[in-house]
Chains A and B, each alone.
Chain A
Amino acid sequence: EAGVTQFPSHSVIEKGQTVTLRCDPISGHDNLYWYRRVMGKEIKFLLHFVKESKQDESGMPNNRFLAERTGGTYSTLKVQPAELEDSGVYFCASSQSQGLAYEQYFGPGTRLTVT
């Protein structure tokens, strides 16, 4: 079974440019999450999709970030325009919630560097 995949693995852009990150969850997983880890700090929740619907987007830092999950399969996270503080590793995770002890499966992350 293929795991969660993310593209690109690394992106370097200039301040003011736009970047789009992609996440392909494990097939059949209805839940998809985006997280961000700024260097040396904790992984922070950004938002949660159930199928194509945004269940919780309370972690999105501001309106420069836009996440979509059309058709309830893959998801994109667009940052426009990028700022220096957006640099970090963006993780995607997916799960098939079944009971209290469900597990999230993470992708390898996209390392975003804004210069």
Chain B
Amino acid sequence: ILNVEQSPQSLHVQEGDSTNFTCSFPSSNFYALHWYRWETAKSPEALFVMTLNGDEKKKGRISATLNTKEGYSYLYIKGSQPEDSATYLCAFRYNFNKFYFGSGTKLNVKP
């Protein structure tokens, strides 16, 4: 069983704050690292797929970095808005088609 850990478990920030969370994963047999944004009762929404060490991806105010040698990825949100409130999930792809998920970081942005 592979261990994918996300921290913190939950985060409460004020509107306008910038924030970041961490996903830690095994540094061997790496295929890809995926980030998802999930609101309860909706479909998890794909944010990024990262495959190369040193990858940096950006979508609007959200960005992510990847370090496969040490086994971590950071997700950053710049200037958080209430609509960013959701659970952010990372998934480590261990082989071509097998995904291991972390427990998620639940973000609450207060107006």
Contact = CB atoms under 8 A, between A and B. Distances in A.
B28 to A, nearest CB: 17
B96 A91 contact: no
B97 A48 contact: yes
Contacts, number: 55
Contact of A56 (B4, B89, B98, B104): B98
Given A56-B98, A101-B49, 16 more contacts: A9-B41, A42-B103, A43-B101, A44-B101, A91-B44, A97-B96, A100-B31, A100-B51, A103-B34, A103-B49, A105-B43, A105-B46, A106-B43, A106-B45, A108-B41, A108-B43
Contacts of B89: 43
B59 to A, nearest CB: 13
B87 to A, nearest CB: 10
